[in-house]
Amino acid sequence: MGTYIDILPVAILAIGALLYTLNSRRKPSLPLPPGPKGLPLVGNLFQVPSELEWIKYHEWSTELKTDILHLQIAGTHIIVLDNYEVAMDLLESRSSLYSGRPHLVMMMELMGWGFNFGFVDYGEQLTAETILSVAYGIQIQQENDPYVQLAEAANEGAIIAAVPGKFLVEAIPLLKYVPAWFPGASFKRKAREWYKLTRMMVEVPYADAKKRIESGNPAPSILLTNLQKIEEGVKDDAFTEDVLRNTVGALYSAGSDTTVSAMATCILGLLEHPEILKKAQEQIDAVVKPGHLPDLDDEPSLPYVTAIAKEALRWRDVIPLGVPHALSADDEYKGYRLPAGAIVLANGWAMLHDESIYANPFEFNPDRFIDPETGKIDYSRARDPAHACFGFGRRICPGRFMAFESLWLGIASLIATFDIEKPKEKVTLPSGEEVERTVELNHEYKSGLVVWVHFCSPL
Residues 6+ apart with CB under 8 A from 414: 263, 266, 267, 420
Annotated binding residue at 397?
yes
Listed in sequence order, the residues at least 6 apart from 237 whose beta carbon sits closer than 8 Å to its beta carbon are 128, 243
Using alpha carbons, select from 454, 453, 314 the residue that is nearest to residue 385: 314
Give pairs for 372-380: CB < 8 Å, separation 24+: 375/303, 375/304, 376/303, 377/303, 377/306, 377/307
Per-residue exposure over 371-386, b if at least 16 CB sit within 10 Å of its own CB, e if not: eeeeeebbeeebbebb
In 3-state terms the chain splits into helix, strand, coil percentages (rounded to 5) of: 50, 10, 40
- The single-letter code of the amino acid at 144 is N
* Helix extents (H) in 182-294: 186-214, 222-231, 241-272, 274-287
Contact 437, 425 (CB under 8 A): yes
- Residue list, annotated binding site: 397
- Residue list, annotated binding site for heme: 397
